[in-house]
Structure 1
Amino acid sequence: MRKLILRSGIALSLLAAASGGYYWWQQIRFFESTDNAYVEGDISVISPRIEGYIAEVAVGDNQAVHAGDVLVTIEDSDFRARVAQAEAVLLGAQASLVTVDSQITYQDARIAEMIAAERSANAELTRARQEFERNKKLIAGKIIGTQEMDDTTATKLKAEAEVSRISASLVAERAQKGVLEANRAEALAKVDEADANLRLARNDLEKTVIRAPIDGVIGNRAVRIGQFVQPGSQLLSLVPNDVHIVANFKETQIGDMQPGQAVKVTVDAFPDRPVIGIVDSFSPASGTEFSLLPAENATGNFTKIVQRVPVRIALKDNAALNGLLRPGLSVVVSVDTKSAADPRLAAGTGWLFGAAQAASK
């Protein structure tokens, strides 16, 4: 009996070892895990773009807000006055432009009048010249007297002088129109400048109301009513509801990883509620390359250290902990490197992920 029991035990041990080895060969060896992983989110630091005194703080700590909600209001009396001033300057510039346009219209009328006068003077000059030519023939035949010839000559000279005067006046009037057109261009530029200043003033007035750029939860609120703030000063942080996982795998673990593979995520705060994720992307460099003091390996006392590569893991939309995850929470991730590298095929390819998916439901 003892021999039978011993043999049975040995057989069961061998069977268990064989089953374990087979399972390791078929499943476990394709999983890469790490506990150096954390929940992260694209936290927005809210800062003012203008300086002023805080008039109202519309949100409290840990309050959920939606994109477009008012967070903070800066005292706007000075900015409203600047808008009114810019509007007045714009109205003055527009009035100057209207005045110049009226002057140009009047000048066009003057030019038209001078053109008509020039035509009339040319017609009179033509008549005077014709009469002068006739009288030259008549005086040669002694049909008319010298006095009449002198009058005709004077009339012709007067007509020529009139034509010259009107031509000079027409040139002067056209030159004056050129000056007015230059004045109009200047006035138009002032209108554009005033309009731009008005838009800037309105933009500054609009910046007195600080709104939430995304949906999220208020955190690290440091702003208070009556506080003087300047552009760039941190008022509060807005933590988004949409989070992801960053897992720092050893460089020896990422050889078979690729985007789209399935990931099991176990959150330390909720150990009994695993969720499914997908490998999204890999960092372009190891973590030490982005540190404040990167490692200098070109030294005589070099010691090889396994590097860590940050891997971004996207969570599925139907994650069981959707809305409960907070940036900074610790997680444990396990990547199935045997799974398909296609997001549409990467959901629960191994028994581990199937169990996680069932638990999430």
Structure 2
Amino acid sequence: MLDDAIREKNDLTSAAAAAPRGPSWERDAAAKIREIQRAPKPSEAPASRSSEEHAGAIGKPARKRVWRRRPILSAIGALLLASVVGGGYLYADQAGHFQSTDDAFIAARQSSIAPKVSGYITDVTVTDNQHVEPGDVIARIDDRDYRIALEQAGAQVAAAQASIENIDAQLEVQKAQISANQAQVDQAEAALVFAQQQAARYQHLEQTGYGSIQNSEQYTSQLRQQQASLQSAQATLNLAKRQVEGLKSQRETAVANLAQAEAQRDQAKLNLSYTTVTAAEPGRIVNLGAAVGQFVQPGTSLTMFVPDQTWVTANFKEIQLDRMRPGEPVTLKIDAYPGRLIRGHVDSVQPGSGTAFSLLPAQNATGNYVKIVQRVPVKIIMDNPPKDVALGPGMSVVPTVRIDTTASLYERLRRFL
């Protein structure tokens, strides 16, 4: 019906263009146009069986004509639709195998380097951000006082050793004296035996009348003299032995003095070595504050030191830790070096949230409680840290952990069955 009206309108338009124009013609054309405009449109016409069949008859040939007219474009559209659906499925499937966070930073056990002795700094051999190896000199302190102290300690050690040697010599002399005293004791004992025999013989002669009383008393006196001589020799021998004990005690004291002097010498040697401040491990000098001529005390900070051994502390949400295990691979992207891709692995998961170990831990035992997803620090070790760039504490990192979903799927199936 609409096609007929359009065709009729076109005929009227053509006829109007060819025929002469006048008042009657304009009235007829206007009436005809109003009649065409009042005709019901296909969308507003009542849905009858004949109109539906007519619309179906019209639509089917048109759809076939589109597929036949543009088969390549239709095939490309179908392929694009299939690729989009497949890519979406793969993305959704792969997204479940990764856990990522932007709350991650590089961490290290940075420390302050300070001297153990006081003095004036005579040399600073490093500069800011310089890389040092173990044993490299960082600063030197004036060591003249400490060298003098070491020489004094060495002299005390030598004096203690000489004292021990002197006592050892005295012990040798005393041993010889003991031998001489022992010989005197043996001589006195022999003389005493002879005196006892003589006294007994003359006492017997006196009693029998063959000897005089004078001789008996004389040899009795000699016997007593020999007894006194023996006692004197024994006392001298005992005195010599006691002197040996005293010398031995003096030697022990001298040995203790030697040990003390050696300890003081070793301490002086250590103090002398402390005048040279060196690096204990490889790392970088940061925030250098030492200067030549500066007087420093033990514990004065000369510089901050950042070791080469660094790792990543990633604060994952606690809901991300279900399938995260130590040893799983990690991909790291450092904000400072976006073009570098660093590999690593999960080293450990902290047994507790970060707030639990803070200075003021949260206390949730209150009447009004709002549950907040906690963050748990995860330590990540870098397998291939870059050597040509500086990595330091506090630099932002975005880690992505490749988690193993096999165990989780097995557990879910087991629970479901």
Pairing 1:264–2:363 present? no
Partner of 1:329: 395
Shift of 1:33: 0.2
Asked if the contact 1:50/1:231 (under 8 Å) is kept, the reply is yes
Cα RMSD of the aligned pairs, angstroms, is: 2.4
Partner of 1:204: 271
Asked if the contact 2:344/2:381 (under 8 Å) is kept, the reply is yes
Q: Could you report, residue by residue, the CA deviation over 1:295-334 in whole angstroms, capped at 9, with x for unpaired residues?
A: 12222333322211111111114x4x33424112211110
Partner of 1:110: 177
Partner of 1:70: 137
Partner of 1:234: 301
Asked if the contact 1:40/1:326 (under 8 Å) is kept, the reply is no
Question: Structure 2 residue aligned with 1:135, among 192, 197, 202?
Answer: 202
Q: Could you report, residue by residue, the CA deviation over 1:65-95 in whole angstroms, capped at 9, with x for unpaired residues?
A: 2111111111111111211221222222222
Alignment of 1:67-216 (within 5 A): 67-216=134-283
Partner of 1:39: 106
Q: For residues 18 and 96 of structure 1, do their structure 2 counterparts lie closer, same or farther at Cα, with a shift above 3 Å needed?
A: same
Q: Which moved more, 1:96-105 or 1:243-252?
A: 96-105
Higher relative contact order (CA 8 A, sep 6+): 1
Question: Structure 2 residue aligned with 1:24, among 72, 92, 96?
Answer: 92
Partner of 1:313: 380
- Paired residues, number: 338
**Separation (CA, whole Å) in 2 of partners of 1:113 and 1:166:** 10
Q: Which moved more, 1:258-267 or 1:322-331?
A: 322-331
Q: Which has the higher helix share?
A: 2
**Which amino acid is 1:322 matched to?**
K
The structure number with the bigger radius of gyration is: 2
Q: Which moved more, 1:228-237 or 1:194-203?
A: 228-237
- Structure 2's unaligned 5+ residue stretches are 1-61, 68-72, 408-417
User: Could you say what secondary structure the match of 1:197 adopts?
Assistant: helix
Asked if the contact 1:250/1:308 (under 8 Å) is kept, the reply is yes
Partner of 2:343: 276
User: Could you say what secondary structure the match of 2:217 adopts?
Assistant: helix
What's the TM-score, normalizing by structure 1?
A: 0.86
- Structure 1's unaligned 5+ residue stretches are 342-361
**Separation (CA, whole Å) in 1 of partners of 2:406 and 2:390:** 27
**Separation (CA, whole Å) in 2 of partners of 1:334 and 1:293:** 30
**Which amino acid is 2:140 matched to?**
T
Partner of 2:26: none
**Separation (CA, whole Å) in 2 of partners of 1:302 and 1:130:** 117
**Separation (CA, whole Å) in 2 of partners of 1:203 and 1:270:** 44
Q: Which has the higher strand share?
A: 1
What's the TM-score, normalizing by structure 2?
A: 0.75
Q: Structure 1 vs Structure 2: percent identity of aligned residues? A: 38
Segments of 4+ in structure 1 off by > 3 A?
1-15
Q: Could you report, residue by residue, the CA deviation over 1:31-76 in whole angstroms, capped at 9, with x for unpaired residues?
A: 1101111122332421111222211111111222211111111111
**Which amino acid is 2:383 matched to?**
K
Asked if the contact 1:243/1:325 (under 8 Å) is kept, the reply is no
User: Could you say what secondary structure the match of 2:404 adopts?
Assistant: coil
**Separation (CA, whole Å) in 1 of partners of 2:405 and 2:97:** 9
**Separation (CA, whole Å) in 2 of partners of 1:279 and 1:60:** 35
Shift of 1:277: 0.5
User: Could you say what secondary structure the match of 2:315 adopts?
Assistant: strand
**Separation (CA, whole Å) in 2 of partners of 1:47 and 1:289:** 32
